[in-house]
Amino acid sequence: MSKVVIPRLQIERIISALKEGKRLDGRNILDYRDIKIERNISSNAESSVSVKIGKTEVYCGVKMAVTAPYSDSPNEGTFMMTAELHPMASETFDIGRPGINAIELARVIDRGIRESGFIDFKGLCIKEGEKVWQVFVDVFVLNDDGNLFDVTGLAALIALGSAKLPVYNEEEDKLEHKRSDIDLPLNKELMSFNMTVYKVGDKILIDPTKEEEDIADYRLSIAFGDNNGEARITALQKGKAGVINTEDLNSILKTVEDKYKTMFPTVKKLVWNE
């Protein structure tokens, strides 16, 4: 992966704007960029979506397969998420097998979804101990202009929310390569959304541009859902080398609680296409 070099003058401009509570693109420090969604971009997936936040864009698709369950969970389906960071998306991405950044991106979003209880794994069981559905969520990054974690997390939720099980011929033990009218089994009330908070200079901000992200001291990805009108944290993952002190952590938690009240209803509408 190539090293990012940002001119010192540009860093000073970013930091100076943040001290005034603003960004170089005119946003406040806790504002998201515009969100754009395009559904059903592939006819070969059980569901698919393009999600753009600002200039950052990812494609996400859900595919299903029938497999044997794990021995320690014979009545539960399985879930796997992958991410591909292609050089066309950023000059800092290298071609070849997934690197540490692609693996981290997939695992952070996977953990937030898995630990929330959003996927009904027992509902994916076809025959206990023998056959279950395996859910694959694949993400391809088209352009990286910052905040891949939140864009990828939203894309995964939308793709899962609109997925239909393929037709499975039990007698011949094969998929018919067409969708049924049966929804992927999900616990809608347990949906959890990823929000990543960054420390840049002395400010806590969300949805950074690529330049803001590159000069951040640290990031903290927080997956949260609803708990009777309050934020319910289901997963946490810190990134980058900076240290989170007590004051910062309190500020981050307050930021998440405040943004939850406006952002979570928006995410619900996008996921369920309301």
pTM of the model: 0.94
- What residue spans define the domains of the chain? 26-271
Helices (H), ranges, 117-196: 148-161
Task: Return the SS3 of 138.
Answer: strand
pLDDT at residue number 221: 96
From 2.102.10.10, 3.30.56.10, 3.30.230.70, 3.30.470.10, which CATH number describes the 26-271 domain? 3.30.230.70
Q: 122-126: long-range contacts (C-beta < 8 A, 24 or more apart)?
A: 122/75, 122/76, 122/77, 123/77, 123/185, 124/76, 124/77, 124/78, 124/185, 125/69, 125/75, 125/76, 125/77, 126/66, 126/168, 126/170
Compute, in degrees rounded to 10, the torsion defined by CA atoms 123, 125, 127, 131.
Answer: 160
Smallest CA-to-CA distance from 104 within 112, 95, 92 is with 112
| Whole-angstrom distance, CA of residue 194 vs CA of residue 159 | 15
pLDDT at residue number 230: 81
pLDDT at residue number 88: 86
- Beta strands 125-127 and 174-183 are unpaired
Q: Which residues of the chain have pLDDT under 50?
A: none
pLDDT at residue number 37: 97
At 202, list the tokens: 């002395």
| Tens digits of residue pLDDT in 44-76 | 899 999 999 999 999 999 999 999 999 999 999
- pLDDT > 90 in the chain, percent: 78
At 35, list the tokens: 């969100």
Q: At what angle do helices 148-161 and 246-271 cross, to 10 degrees?
A: 30
Compute, in degrees rounded to 10, the torsion defined by CA atoms 64, 147, 255, 36.
Answer: -70
pLDDT at residue number 177: 74
pLDDT at residue number 153: 97
pLDDT at residue number 1: 53
Contact indicator for 235, 192 with CB cutoff of 8 Å: yes
b/e 53-75 (16+ beta carbons within 10 angstroms → b): bbebbbbbbbbbebeebeeeeee
